Amino acid sequence: MTDLEKEFEKAVAYELTEDDIERARLLIGIETTNRRREHISTATPDAIRNWALGMGDDNPLHVDETYGPTTRWGSQIASPTFIGHIKAPLLGDPVPKDIAQATKGLFRGIHVFVSGGTWDFYRHVYPGDRLYSFNGLESVEAKDSEFAGRSVVQVSRQAIFNQRVEIVGVYRILTILTARKESRDRGKYLDIEPANYTDADIEEIDRIYAAEEVRGAEKRWWDDIEVGEELRPMVKGPLTVTEIIAFHAGGYGFVPYGLRSSRVGYKNRTRIRPFYIKNEMGVPDVAQRLHWDSAWAQAIGNPMAYDYGVMRQSWFQHHVTDWMGDDGCLVRLEDSIRKFNYQGDTQFLTGSVTEKRIEENGPVVDLDLRMVNQRGVETANGKATVALPLRRTGLPMFPDVPRDLAHKAVELHARHVELSNTGSGA
C-alpha cells in the first residue's frame, strides 16, 4: 500500500450515514442568502473576458469591449454560465438555530461530484454588474448508482440577481455525494487506459478547431431553422492540467473551499481540516487536487485526474452561443454528466434541432446536445432552448421572471440594505 493509499484509508473514516441523509432533509425549503464572496464579485470587462477564455471561448461578444457596443445589446456581455460563479456577499438572516444545530457537520469528509445542472436565463450580465444570490435545497435522495456506488443525490437552487435587483438567472445544481471508501471501491475505472495520440490524431482535432466559427452578427433566423438540422461540431481538449489552470484563472474559485497559498492556505487548512490530505511528500494538500494530481486520483479509485463537471456545462453553453449568433438568447440549458473526463481525454460535441415553436415571449428552438470522448463513450448530454429572431416580428426576448422569485429578491435585498446600514452583518 502506498503512502497516498494509507492517507486515503485514514480519510474513509468519514462515512455516508442515514443520519446525515435525514438531517440534510431538514434544510429542504429553507432559503438563505449567499454571504460568501466568490473569486469574482463584480463583472468587470476583464472578468467577463477571462471567464470566456477560461472555457476556450473567444466569441468577441464576450471578450472584446469594442465589439459589444456594435450589437443589439449595446455592450460587451458575459457568457451565460458566468452567473453561476460570480457573487458578492448578500447579508441576511441565518438558518434557524435549531436547524443549524441539527445539521452541524453534515456530510463531513464526503466527496461531492457535480453530476448535472439546469440553468434558466432571464437577462444578460453587463460590465459593472454586481451579482448576489439566495439559495435553497430542493431535494435529497439516497440511491445506489453505477457512477458513485451508495450515494446521495441533492438538487440545490441558486437564484441570482444584480445590483438593480433584477433576476438574471436560476441555476439548479445536481450533486452526488459519496463516501471516500465507496469511491475507492469503484476499482472498475482503473482499467481505463490513458489516451495516446499520434500526430494524425492531433491533426484531426485541429481540423475541427479550425472549422469552428462564431455565428456573430449574421442573424440565425427562426424561420430558416429545420428540425433535424445539426450544429457545427465542436471539440474540447485533449484535457491537460493547463486547461484546469486556465479554468481557475478564468474565475472558477471553488468557494467555500477554494485554492489558497502560504499563510492564507494555512488558515484555510485549520478551518476545514478534513479537506486537506497529505500528498506523497507528507504535505497536507486539498482533496480537490484529484482534478490535476493523477497519483491522488488513483489512490481514491480513478485511473487519472479528471475535469470539473462545471467545465463541461460551460462547454455545452459555448457550443450553443457560437451557433445562435449575437441576436439569439439562450433561455435554458440542461446537462447531465454521465462519465468522467480524464486527463488526456478529448470531448467531441455535437447537437441537433429537435423542435421549433412560438411561445408567449416569441419563437424558440430546442436543441439536443451530446459529448463523446475519443473512446466513443458518451460522457455528457444536454438540452438547450434558444430564442431566435423572427423575420416578421424582429428580435427575440428573454422570458419573464417568475413573480415569486422577483418578490423574494426585493425582500432579501431590502434586508441586506437594512443589515448593511446597521452594521449587523447577520
Q: What is the pLDDT of residues 121-154, one digit of tens each?
A: 999 999 999 999 999 999 999 887 655 567 899 9
Query: How many angstroms separate the CA atoms of 24 and 138, rounded?
Result: 11
Residues written for the chain: 426
Rounded mean pLDDT, 411-415: 96
How far apart (Å, rounded) are the C-alpha atoms in residues 387 and 401? 15
Collapsing DSSP to helix, strand or coil, 309 comes out as: helix
CATH at 347: 3.10.129.10
What pLDDT does residue 16 have? 79
Q: Is 357 exposed, middle or buried (0-12, 13-18, 19+ CB in 10 A)?
A: exposed
Number of domains in the chain: 1
Tell me, what's the pLDDT at 178?
A: 82
pLDDT reading at 337 higher than 80: yes
**C-alpha cell of 271?**
478551518
424 or 36: which carries more pLDDT confidence?
36
Alpha-carbon distance of 310 to 335, in angstroms, equals 10
Global pTM value: 0.90
Give the integer Cα–Cα distance in Å for 190 and 297.
Answer: 10
Least confident of 356-360, 375-379, 393-397, 421-425: 421-425
- Say which amino acid occupies 246: A
Query: What percent of the chain is predicted at pLDDT more than 70?
Result: 92
Residue 13 has a pLDDT of: 44
The region, left, alpha or beta by phi > 0 then psi within -120 to 50, assigned to residue 390 is beta
Tell which wins on pLDDT, 4 or 230. Answer: 230
Q: How many CB atoms lie within 10 A of CB 289?
A: 17
With pLDDT > 90 as the criterion, what percentage of the chain qualifies? 77
The residue with cell 415553436 is 357
Average pLDDT over residues 259-269: 93
Domain range for 77: 3-422
235-249 pLDDT per residue, tens: 999 999 999 999 999
Q: What mean pLDDT, rounded, does the chain reach?
A: 91
Whether 185 has a pLDDT exceeding 90, the answer reads: no
Q: Rounded mean pLDDT of 108-118? A: 82
CA dist 390 and 221 (Å) reads: 6
Burial, 347: exposed, middle or buried (Cβ in 10 Å; 0-12, 13-18, 19+)?
Answer: buried
In order, the DSSP letters of 356-367 are EEEETTEEEEEE
**Residue 422 confidence (pLDDT) above 90:** no
Convert the pLDDT of each residue in 57-111 to its tens digit: 999 999 999 999 999 999 999 999 999 989 999 999 999 999 999 998 888 777 7
What are the φ/ψ torsions at residue 4 (nearest 5 degrees)?
Answer: -65, -40
d(CA 157, CA 163): 20
Lowest mean pLDDT among 57-61, 298-302, 356-360, 394-398: 298-302
- How far is it, in rounded angstroms, from Cα 178 to Cα 111? 5
